[in-house]
């Protein structure tokens, strides 16, 4: 609420005979006070003043403010707007006294009712909140209404189902973190074949992916000025590997990939050096395409390729289920499965059920 500053000069309660240390009993009812957007913990309160603690500005001594006094109950709160003046401000101890400028204001009935109920024992404290004490003469509760037992039983079943679901999700996350590893780079679908690489560092001077067997597939103008040509080895399917005429290449960079017309579809990629151990120890390899299709694969017989120290190592995967030719060029997410202990087979089945949130499509 608006924390307005009162500008009218008011007389303190002491001027009316209300002030003084013995005016009203100070009660330690749990409450807190908000002044100028800052909260203070209530320590004691009476009908004419209150004591609060917190981070208090020493310059607030003698200032008049509108305080929002809040009493917290179980499930709801009671807030009273009271015009106060800050006295006895002790910034070192974090204490201040709030003198009520209008003790007979609109807040009085509610505040008096709360204090009388607290004195009478109708209100009890539960930590920082208030609660209504159960009456000793309260009548026993009536028996459950018809159908309530059925609803309670249904609620219990739903709670059990949600608990099982939560445990399954937690188990799936633990399984995914401990027994699986996702490679940082995806694999690309292609045809089984050979790669024609650059024979020297230089610029692609000529490129003809439609060349026949024995014709020049591409030529490189090396840095030394020599023109080096690479001949197409066969009349076969040719895949461009991102290089075009005019591109600069280094010795060993792939330029074209050639394969027989009936060559099977495989996947190729590169694994980082720090992931090679996980790759070599993997018991299975899962592949997931952008459209959600899933397949499993195994490492090709020749295994991992060779690379310079610190460089990514090439690999080839053979899918367990044949892939169609229209998959060529698509990327697949590669997930490695670590070997499972014999006792973890049941957990693996549950984890697989929760992680495969959609049915695997035929590739």
Nearest 5 degrees, angle CA 32-CA 35-CA 36?
Answer: 145
CA 287 to chain centre: 25
* pLDDT given for residue 136 in this prediction: 55
Nearest 5 degrees, angle CA 199-CA 185-CA 287?
Answer: 115
Q: Which residues pair with 87 in a beta bridge?
A: 97
* pLDDT given for residue 22 in this prediction: 45
Could you count the other beta carbons within 10 Å of the beta carbon of residue 253? 16
Nearest 5 degrees, angle CA 81-CA 82-CA 84?
Answer: 145
| Half-sphere exposure for 185 (CA within 13 Å, toward CB) | 17
> Rounded CA gap, 311 and 137, in Å?
82
> Rounded CA gap, 99 and 45, in Å?
10
Domains of the chain: 13-132 (2.40.10.220), 167-192+264-363 (2.40.30.170), 193-262 (2.40.50.100)
- Give the pLDDT confidence of 303-346 residue by residue, as tens digits: 677 777 778 888 888 888 888 878 877 888 988 887 766 555 55
> Rounded CA gap, 87 and 99, in Å?
7
Is 60:71 a contact under the CB 8 Å cutoff?
A: no
Is 60:89 a contact under the CB 8 Å cutoff?
A: yes
Is 224:201 a contact under the CB 8 Å cutoff?
A: no
* pLDDT given for residue 48 in this prediction: 92
* pLDDT given for residue 282 in this prediction: 79
Residues of the chain with pLDDT under 50: 1-9, 12-22, 358-363
- Give the pLDDT confidence of 178-214 residue by residue, as tens digits: 677 888 888 888 777 778 888 889 988 888 888 888 8
pTM of structure = 0.39
> Rounded CA gap, 198 and 190, in Å?
20
Name the residue among 6, 97, 84 with its Cα closest to residue 45.
Answer: 97
Percent of the chain having pLDDT more than 70?
Answer: 81
């Amino acid at each position: 609420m608006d924390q307005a500053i009162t500008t009218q000069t008011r007389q303190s309660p002491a001027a009316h005979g209300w002030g003084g240390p013995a005016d009203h009993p100070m009660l330690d009812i749990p409450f807190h006070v908000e002044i100028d957007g800052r909260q203070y913990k209530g320590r004691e309160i009476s009908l004419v003043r209150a004591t609060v603690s917190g981070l208090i500005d020493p310059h607030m001594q003698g200032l008049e403010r509108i305080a929002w006094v809040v009493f917290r109950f179980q499930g709801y709160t009671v807030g009273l707007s009271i015009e106060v003046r800050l006295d006895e401000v002790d910034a070192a101890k974090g204490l201040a006294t709030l003198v009520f400028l209008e003790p007979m204001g609109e807040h009085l009935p509610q505040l008096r009712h709360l204090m009388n109920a607290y004195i009478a024992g109708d209100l009890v404290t539960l930590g920082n909140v208030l609660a209504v004490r159960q009456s000793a003469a309260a009548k026993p509760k009536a028996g459950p209404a018809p159908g309530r037992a059925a609803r309670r039983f249904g609620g219990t079943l739903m709670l059990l189902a949600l608990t099982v679901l939560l445990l399954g999700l937690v188990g799936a996350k633990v399984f995914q973190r401990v027994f699986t590893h996702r490679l940082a780079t995806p694999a690309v679908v292609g045809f089984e074949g050979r790669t024609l690489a650059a024979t020297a560092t230089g610029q692609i001077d000529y490129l003809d992916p439609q060349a026949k067997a024995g014709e020049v597939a591409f030529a490189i103008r090396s840095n030394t000025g020599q023109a080096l040509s690479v001949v197409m080895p066969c009349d076969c399917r040719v895949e461009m590997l991102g290089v075009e005429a005019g591109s600069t290449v280094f010795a060993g960079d792939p330029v074209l990939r050639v394969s027989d017309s009936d060559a099977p579809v495989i996947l190729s990629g590169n694994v980082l050096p720090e992931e090679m151990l996980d790759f070599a120890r993997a018991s299975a390899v899962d592949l997931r395409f952008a459209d959600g299709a899933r397949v499993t694969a195994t490492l090709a017989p020749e295994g991992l390729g060779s690379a310079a120290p610190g460089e990514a190592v090439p690999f080839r995967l053979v899918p367990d289920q044949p892939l169609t030719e229209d998959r060529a060029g698509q990327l697949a997410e590669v997930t490695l499965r670590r070997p499972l202990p014999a006792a973890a087979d049941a957990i693996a089945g549950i984890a697989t059920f929760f992680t495969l949130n959609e049915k695997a499509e035929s590739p």
